[in-house]
Structure 1
Amino acid sequence: MRGSIFFLFLTLSSLVALVHCYGGRVKFDPLGKFIESRRVKTSVNHMFTDDVSTEYSPVYVGVHDGLKELDKILKLPGQPSVKFDQYSGYVTVDPTAGRALFYYFTEAVNPSSKPLVLWLNGGPGCSSFGYGAMTELGPFRVNPDGKTLWHNKYAWNNVANVLFLESPAGVGFSYSNTTSDYTTGDKQTAADSYTFLVNWLERFPEYKIRDFYITGESYAGHYVPQLADLILKNNKITNQTVINLKGIAIGNAYIDSTDFLKGIVDHFWTSALISDEIHRRIVENCNYSSPSKKCYEYLGEASKAVGNIFIYDIYAPLCSSSSNSSSLSGFDPCSDNYVLTYLNTPEVQEALHANVTGNPGPWNGCSGDTDGIVPVTTTRYSMPKLGAPVKTPWYPWYSKDEVGGYVVEYENVTFVSIRGSGHFVPSYQPERALTFFTSFIDGKLPPGLN
């Protein structure tokens, strides 16, 4: 299992979809962060899912004439030449509250022949633009100088038109003029994301009938399926835009807290990050569905025992001022710092049409307090709960004649690993991630050996 990451595919409307990629970032001690959030049971973005309403009322739709042209990015500072168009700006989702969500959209080279894909980062409360676009699957990465960009040849806009949404309000460049909006939850996040999509499609009407997919990572295990569920419900009763949803994809999805705790503890143990003694105490004393105070104490021991490592890729070096050496995958562990510098540059914010005066502070990668890894064991423990029969038994899939990972197809759900990757798959294994994503868009399983 060394360095693997796992994906799931879900089916919507009898079409193949994918589930499983990564999420928000915290440098160390994700289990400790999670434990603390469960103790106080409060968060900027609640850990506990509030059900999406089954009732429908027409959502706010603004006037979008001419806004697409104003949102077009002429060229980002330090950007190399490319042959596709890109846009960024705001979509108001609540004019009374003054709540507006920031997006970044990168078209494919031949956009009319390719589907539309929405990407949501997790956290909760982490930037889909700063992380998803600028360090993972977007067309550009930031150089160490924090001023210039280089082209990512494995960007997902090779095969799709990709829309990155910073959600909920308060994340990244998204903002609200009503301070209370910065305390929110899953239900409001889904509702705002739906309103955003209805309005965005008014601004970009050529995408209204395009095949549409929702993708994301980590806490997007809540965001993605709840948004998909809301879309499917509203599509049946709305007299507004019907969204042509075909499938969803989530990496390392945080869905169930019980599976999360059991999965991360067993992952720590099997990866030799904690001792046999600590693991045994946790197993003997913890009911993961209702952890006791004593259980939290033992989980705290595990969190401390892991030590000072980059928990999202346990074999990677840390970013430090004395060493910027790349990880085994070739990914620079200091990339987040380069992005932070770049996106807080006035010239960059101006090129992105970012309203920094409307935000509560400078651009920051995450506003949530529950960031953490979601290991492969978490997903594997969740799979039996689906009760789906196996259609295609476990097999190795290939990218460039090397094993890219492993696949097992269930009825309507596919479980896929990406070999040699940490939590952020397109960052650590960009070529394998693109091979996998291309298969997903094509409605196929990842390729076997020819």
Structure 2
Amino acid sequence: MTNSKWSQLLFLCIITSTLFLNSINVAFATDPFVEQEKDRIVSALPGQNFNITFKHYSGYITVNEEVGRTLFYWFIEADHPDPTSKPLLLWFNGGYGCSSIAYGEAEEIGPFRINTDGKTLYLNPYSWNQVANILYIDSPVGVGFSYSNNPSDILNNGDKRTAEDNLIFLLNWFKRFPQYKKTGFFISGESYAGHYVPQLSQLIVSYNSATKQDSINFKGYMLGNALIDDFRDQLGIFQFMWSSGMISDKTFKLLNLLCDFQSIKQPSESCKKLWEIAYKELGNIDPHSIFTSTCHANDNQRVKRKLSAGRLRRVYDPCTTKHSTIYFNQPEVQRILHVDPNHKPHKWQPCSYDVGINWKDSPRTVLNIYRELIPTGLRIWIFSGNTDAVVPVTSTRYSINALKLPTVSPWRAWYDDGEVGGWTQEYTGLTFVTVRGAGHEVPLHRPKLALTLFKSFLAGTSMPTLKPLTLAASY
């Protein structure tokens, strides 16, 4: 058995015994539904001038009592008369060090979107809580509103501790929301969540094997534009930038020659200089979405609502992160969201600089976890917006090909409202979907297509095909 397996087994033994002792204490402590009600958001959010028919909650879950390491969450129930009948999804953003509330909730899959003034909200018509309960957490500690009583914790995050804290968070969250314990549970995310999600999934599978009685009803995970394998990710970036006409032939050849991400973790000085040349050749574009505009100072005036076929729609807004920074720094917003005034950040940021530059451990690949989890029968989907140059579709295809999985259903287009939404291929144990015209944050750039994708994932069905045309009678 490898050292990592021994470490994982020891962690699970500690967790299992701790949870057993805690469960005895909980039986004589506060009713979880009382604690749950304390976290319920009963007032309208600041700037919310529309009614909602679903409940939502926010608060803290402690993952380490000894040092007071605590993760902030926002839970939004499904918009359904019986939300417990709908699946439960845990969403992660990446970074490392970026808030799932800043990105996942506020600009991607959540119901509450922020207007250009940074102070008012509008309802997202393609929110994923139409079909599932969505749980967002600020992970790891130091991100968003999550905190620790030990300041050094923020400087000592890494993949291993993040996965362990996320499992403890989840187990403790189910204690507060026991009505969801038997609900079908899924995990999703994007970017560096390409590490968080499979690593947490691996721990959940091991935990379920170790404790049959208190197992999590884990069904599978779905990842978008995800970091999977350092070497293949970089190889795919070079390929995508060159084939999209953004870098020169010379730079492409030298990148492949001098940037050896297969055998080393840190790029050489010559490789770093080549990256500088490549980014100069790219010009002033957003590499997360190469065909859309970047955020400018006057974008608040340019982003307006427009009428389309009698229906109000919105132009793509490249400044969404700027709006969320204004919104979540408002004291009244923090009060409504139950942010602890004694532990709130001096200034809320969508991503933590301190967490990002002090990351301690990050394996070069998580393909080994895929190889371990695919035989377990989990539903595993990978999706990719095909206009992202940060973790492009080419990188994802290289990583999937490295798994050498048999093809179940060959490459084909999938459709939404009669138009090609992207392309898909199904393998034994894994489904791959591309989303046409989407960047790094697929639900931000193509919200309707992202919701179609999510519905298919939850149902475990293939992506939609083009419906055959119905010919009118000629007589």
Using structure 2 for the length normalisation, give the TM-score. 0.81
Q: Percent identity between the aligned chains? A: 47
Tell me which residue corresponds to 2:256: 283
Aligned length in residues: 401
Do the aligned partners of 1:317 and 1:326 also contact (CA within 8 Å) in 2? no
Secondary structure class of the residue paired with 1:249 = strand
Which residue of 193, 197, 206 corresponds with 1:224?
A: 197
The higher-RCO structure (CA 8 Å, 6+ apart) is: 1
Which residue of 237, 240, 251 corresponds with 1:264?
A: 237
CA deviation string 1:212-259 (max 9, x = no partner):
001010101100000000000011113773111100011011011111
Which AA in structure 2 matches 1:203?
A: R
Which residue of 380, 387, 390 corresponds with 2:404?
A: 387
Which AA in structure 2 matches 1:344?
A: N
Change (3 A) 1:329 1:373: farther
Which AA in structure 1 matches 2:401?
A: P
Question: How far, CA to CA, are the matches of 1:299 and 1:415 in structure 2?
Answer: 29
Which AA in structure 2 matches 1:343?
A: F
Secondary structure class of the residue paired with 1:174 = coil
Any residues of structure 2 matched to 1:32-181 within 5 Å, and which?
Answer: 53-55=8-10, 56-59=12-15, 63=26, 65=31, 66-74=34-42, 75-79=44-48, 80-110=50-80, 111-181=83-153
| Regions of 4+ moved over 4 Å | 60-64, 326-329
Tell me which residue corresponds to 2:439: 422
Which AA in structure 2 matches 1:384?
A: N
Tell me which residue corresponds to 1:44: none
Unaligned runs of 5+ in 1: 1-49
Deviation (angstroms), 1:425: 0.7
Question: How far, CA to CA, are the matches of 2:341 and 2:286 in structure 1?
Answer: 30
Secondary structure class of the residue paired with 2:299 = coil
Tell me which residue corresponds to 2:350: 365
Tell me which residue corresponds to 2:393: 376
Question: How far, CA to CA, are the matches of 2:280 and 2:177 in structure 1?
Answer: 49
Tell me which residue corresponds to 2:282: 306
Question: How far, CA to CA, are the matches of 1:95 and 1:151 in structure 2?
Answer: 37
Question: How far, CA to CA, are the matches of 1:356 and 1:307 in structure 2?
Answer: 42
Tell me which residue corresponds to 2:170: 197
Tell me which residue corresponds to 1:413: 430
Do the aligned partners of 1:173 and 1:356 also contact (CA within 8 Å) in 2? no
Which residue of 308, 313, 316 corresponds with 1:331?
A: 316
Tell me which residue corresponds to 1:234: 207
Larger Rg: 2
Q: Which moved more, 1:159-168 or 1:270-279?
A: 270-279
Tell me which residue corresponds to 1:315: 291
Tell me which residue corresponds to 1:187: 160
CA deviation string 1:36-71 (max 9, x = no partner):
xxxxxxxxxxxxxx8772332243556563210000
Please identify which structure carries the higher helix content.
Answer: 2
Deviation (angstroms), 1:360: 4.5
Residue 351 (structure 1) aligned with residue 327 (structure 2): no
Q: Which moved more, 1:288-297 or 1:90-99?
A: 288-297
CA deviation string 1:176-219 (max 9, x = no partner):
01011112111100110000010100100000011000101010
Q: Which moved more, 1:333-342 or 1:293-302?
A: 293-302
Using structure 1 for the length normalisation, give the TM-score. 0.85
Secondary structure class of the residue paired with 1:213 = strand
CA deviation string 1:380-419 (max 9, x = no partner):
1111111101000011111111111100001101110011
CA deviation string 1:333-355 (max 9, x = no partner):
11111111110000000000012
Do the aligned partners of 2:78 and 2:86 also contact (CA within 8 Å) in 1? yes
Do the aligned partners of 1:58 and 1:240 also contact (CA within 8 Å) in 2? no
Which AA in structure 2 matches 1:161?
A: N
RMSD of aligned C-alpha atoms?
2.1
Which AA in structure 2 matches 1:345?
A: Q
Do the aligned partners of 2:85 and 2:183 also contact (CA within 8 Å) in 1? no
Question: How far, CA to CA, are the matches of 1:240 and 1:373 in structure 2?
Answer: 42
Do the aligned partners of 1:329 and 1:428 also contact (CA within 8 Å) in 2? no
